[in-house]
């Protein structure tokens, strides 16, 4: 069935210049393989196409376990000169959590 | 030599709450208190204040924080390390001396300088962000290199109770006292990697203890109005146990620690600081008690030969205007207002942005389908090289009162002077940190 990331994972947004970082941490470690499988860099790039102009790179961090997405050209120029209200992109973790994925085991 | 050091972090940014640091200093049984108050842009803004008044250019909250903390720090023998010196650590140290005399206290303060490398830049250096020479960004205002642990150690070797820095890499504020106390070698990359993990987890203060985390019914955090900031107990082998003062608000858990470990990390295997290239991929986090998380396994590779330099430039002005619409067809009326502003201003601004607060303002679109909100606030922003033109944005939005759609209310207008930031690299050998000791 389809599930929303918000229901199984949490996330924190960070910024470096014009780059946005988004962690994706499953509440239950047993959901980590599902996230690895379904939430690819391409899926995130497509989901956030209104926000991220550049490349999305995914890092696997199995020791937590968690995924880390590094999204380039995502902060309309960066904290200091952007005209957006959320210049740091601090609210954008919840944009990632709006993603729906397929879970074959639910 | 001590077997265990306790370090607290009482502020994670310039505007952070004042009292968590006081509670840490009073009840935390700390050896060191850290206040991290310097964001990327803060130092460029401070540089502008210093230019207007050479006795200024340190953190605007320095006086309030020091007045509150100084008596407790001295009574409890807690050393303070802070980057509140911003663009002017020497003036900050003198100000602290002045506060001490006013309070009838005696204090020794060490100021660390040398991060200001503005005079060494020609403007022809290449910006990491754009690949173009720095000077093409605009008129350059400031350039500060990120100093590391090696710049703080000589200050720790003095008898200073307060150590005040300008631009220093945030984790180094924590790595330095550990290296000083435990005599670790800066060449021991795994030890410094683990110390950097500790610094990275601590540097945003409340973000480790439940701040920037809570989501009611999903991720509850108790008593956030009195959020306690963290401390960490570090053993001589580098094992770290994070905690907070009893009876403060907040919650420190595996989940809060995981979020903070990955915060602003561009590559979990290569977290670059002036001290080390830290590797977070073998870090083990473990909940060892209520509000207690243990961290081990940080590793590292040798530090880079260059230091990052944050360069501030004059980026002109941003003007903003806002007005609200509510009730039936609120979004429709707000969009009409937005279209009117676009038509009147688009040809005068290369950079103009129209947002609908309550609908698509911070996520830039809506994900999924949501019912139309009852209220919408139109927000327009434009950038210009002159104050006068930037102010036009707010003036045009305000004029919607009598010339725009029905029932527009609560117009506000703002103009801000903008400092932009680009980065470049400088050879370590070109930077020479210095320590100046002041006694009051």
| pLDDT per position as a tens digit, B135-147 | 999 999 999 999 9
The tally of CA atoms less than 13 A away on the side-chain side of residue B46 is 31
How far is residue B317 from each of residues B19, B68, B392, B414, B415, measured CA to CA in Å?
34, 35, 11, 10, 7
pLDDT at residue B437 greater than cutoff 90: yes
The answer to whether the CB atoms of A64 and B262 lie below 8 A apart is yes
Q: Which domains does chain A have, with CATH numbers?
A: 2-76+86-102 (3.30.70)
pLDDT at B48: 86
Contact residues on chain B for A83, CB-CB shorter than 8 A? 318, 351-353, 381-383
The string of pLDDT tens digits covering residues B38-86 is 988 888 889 889 989 999 999 999 999 999 999 999 999 999 999 999 9
- The conformation of residue A27, written as its DSSP 8-state character, comes to S
Residue A45 tokens read as 């790039």
**Distance between CA atoms of B394 and B404, rounded to whole angstroms?**
14
Tell whether A49 lies on the interface with B, counting CB pairs under 8 A.
no
Residue B156 tokens read as 């720790």
pLDDT band at B222 (very low <50, low <70, confident <90, very high): very high
Best A2, A9, A14 member to test B by mutation, with max B CBs in 10 Å, is A14
pLDDT band at B130 (very low <50, low <70, confident <90, very high): confident
Contact residues on chain B for A98, CB-CB shorter than 8 A? 367-368
Tell whether B367 lies on the interface with A, counting CB pairs under 8 A.
yes
Helix (H) or strand (E) holding B112: strand B108-113
**Distance between CA atoms of B24 and B244, rounded to whole angstroms?**
8
Query: Residues B334-373, buried b or exposed e (16+ Cβ, 10 A)?
Result: bbbbbebbeeebeeebeebbbbbbbbebebbeebeeeeee
Of B41, B258, B315, the CB nearest to A66: B258
Q: What is the mean pLDDT of chain B?
A: 96
Distance from CA of B134 to the nearest CA of A (A): 15
B25 SS3 class: helix
Q: How far is CA B318 from the centre of its chain?
A: 22
User: Lowest-pLDDT range, B39-53, B76-90, B112-126, B206-220?
Assistant: B39-53
Tell me the mean pLDDT in the region B333-341. Answer: 98
User: Lowest-pLDDT range, A82-91, B283-292, B374-383?
Assistant: A82-91
pLDDT at residue A81 greater than cutoff 90: no
| Residues 6+ positions from B52 with CB-CB distance below 8 Å | none
Listed by start position, the domains of chain B span: 4-116+145-306+429-439, 311-423
How far is residue A75 from each of residues A83, A84, B22, B207, B286, measured CA to CA in Å?
10, 8, 35, 21, 34
Tell me the mean pLDDT in the region B149-177. Answer: 98
Domain B311-423 has CATH 3.40.1010.10: no
pLDDT band at B370 (very low <50, low <70, confident <90, very high): confident
For chain B, the 3-state helix, strand and coil shares in percent, each to the nearest 5, are 30, 30, 40
What is the residue whose two structure tokens read 């590094």?
A70
Tell me the mean pLDDT in the region A71-97. Answer: 90
Rg of chain A over CA atoms, in angstroms? 14
Nearest to A66 by CA among A16, A25, A35: A25
Q: Which of residues 15-54 of B touch A (CB under 8 A)?
A: 40-41
Residue of B nearest to A23 (CA): B262
Tell whether A12 lies on the interface with B, counting CB pairs under 8 A.
yes
Tell whether B131 lies on the interface with A, counting CB pairs under 8 A.
no
Q: Could you tell me how many helices (H) and strands (E) chain A has, helices first?
A: 4, 7
Residue of A nearest to B284 (CA): A63
pLDDT at B331: 96
pLDDT band at B364 (very low <50, low <70, confident <90, very high): confident
Q: How many CB pairs under 8 A join A and B?
A: 117
pLDDT band at A79 (very low <50, low <70, confident <90, very high): low
* Beta carbons of B78 and B33 less than 8 angstroms apart: yes
- Rounded to 10°, the helix B62-75/B89-102 angle is 60
pLDDT at residue B293 greater than cutoff 70: yes
Tell whether B216 lies on the interface with A, counting CB pairs under 8 A.
no
pLDDT at B351: 85
Helix (H) or strand (E) holding A14: strand A13-16
pLDDT at residue B117 greater than cutoff 90: yes
Tell me the mean pLDDT in the region A71-96. Answer: 90
């Amino acid at each position: 069935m389809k599930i929303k990331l918000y229901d199984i994972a949490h996330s924190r947004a960070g910024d470096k210049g014009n780059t946005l970082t988004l962690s994706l941490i499953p509440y239950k470690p047993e959901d980590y393989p599902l996230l690895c499988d379904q939430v690819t860099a391409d899926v995130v790039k497509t989901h956030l196409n209104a926000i991220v102009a550049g490349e999305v790179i995914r890092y696997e961090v199995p020791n937590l376990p968690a995924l880390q997405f590094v999204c380039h050209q995502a902060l309309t120029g960066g904290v200091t000169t952007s005209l957006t209200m959320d210049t740091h992109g601090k609210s954008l973790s919840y944009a990632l959590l709006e993603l729906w994925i397929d879970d074959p085991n639910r | 030599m001590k077997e265990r050091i306790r370090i607290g972090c009482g502020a994670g940014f310039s505007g952070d709450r004042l009292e968590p640091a006081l509670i840490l200093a009073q009840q935390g049984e700390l050896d060191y208190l850290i206040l991290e108050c310097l964001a990327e842009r803060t130092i460029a803004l401070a540089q502008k204040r210093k230019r207007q008044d050479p006795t200024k250019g340190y953190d605007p909250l320095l006086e309030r924080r020091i007045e509150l903390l100084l008596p407790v720090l001295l009574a409890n023998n807690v050393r303070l390390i802070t980057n509140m010196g911003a663009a002017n650590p020497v003036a900050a140290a003198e100000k602290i001396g002045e506060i001490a005399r006013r309070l009838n206290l005696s204090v020794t303060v060490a100021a660390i300088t040398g991060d200001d490398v503005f005079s060494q830049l020609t403007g022809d250096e290449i910006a990491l962000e754009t690949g173009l020479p720095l000077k093409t960004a605009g008129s350059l205002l400031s350039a500060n290199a990120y100093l590391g642990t090696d710049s703080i150690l000589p200050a720790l070797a003095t008898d200073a109770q307060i150590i005040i820095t300008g631009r220093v890499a945030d984790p180094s504020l924590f790595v330095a006292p550990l290296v000083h106390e435990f005599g670790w070698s800066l060449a021991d990359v795994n030890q410094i990697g683990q110390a950097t993990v500790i610094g990275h987890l601590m540097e945003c203060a409340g973000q480790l203890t439940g701040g920037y985390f809570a989501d009611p019914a999903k991720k509850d955090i108790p008593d956030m109005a009195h959020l306690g900031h963290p401390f960490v107990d570090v053993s001589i082998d580098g094992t770290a146990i994070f905690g907070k003062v009893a009876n403060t608000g907040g919650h420190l858990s595996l989940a809060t620690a995981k979020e903070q470990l990955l915060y602003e990390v561009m590559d979990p295997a290569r977290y670059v600081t002036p001290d080390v290239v830290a590797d977070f991929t073998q870090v083990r986090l473990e909940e060892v008690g209520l509000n207690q998380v243990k961290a081990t396994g940080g590793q590292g590779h040798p530090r880079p030969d260059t230091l990052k330099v944050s360069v501030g430039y004059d980026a002109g002005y941003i003007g903003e205007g806002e007005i609200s619409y509510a009730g039936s067809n609120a979004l429709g009326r707000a969009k009409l207002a937005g279209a009117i502003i676009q038509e009147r201003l688009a040809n005068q601004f290369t950079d103009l942005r129209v947002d609908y607060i309550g609908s698509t303002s911070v996520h830039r679109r809506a994900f999924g389908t949501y019912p139309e909100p009852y209220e919408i606030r139109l927000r327009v922003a434009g950038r210009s090289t002159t104050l006068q033109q930037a102010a036009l944005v707010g003036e045009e939005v305000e004029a919607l009162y009598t010339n725009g759609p029905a029932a527009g209310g609560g117009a506000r207008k703002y103009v801000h002077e903008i400092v932009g930031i680009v980065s470049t690299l400088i050879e370590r050998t070109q930077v020479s940190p210095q320590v100046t000791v002041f006694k009051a």
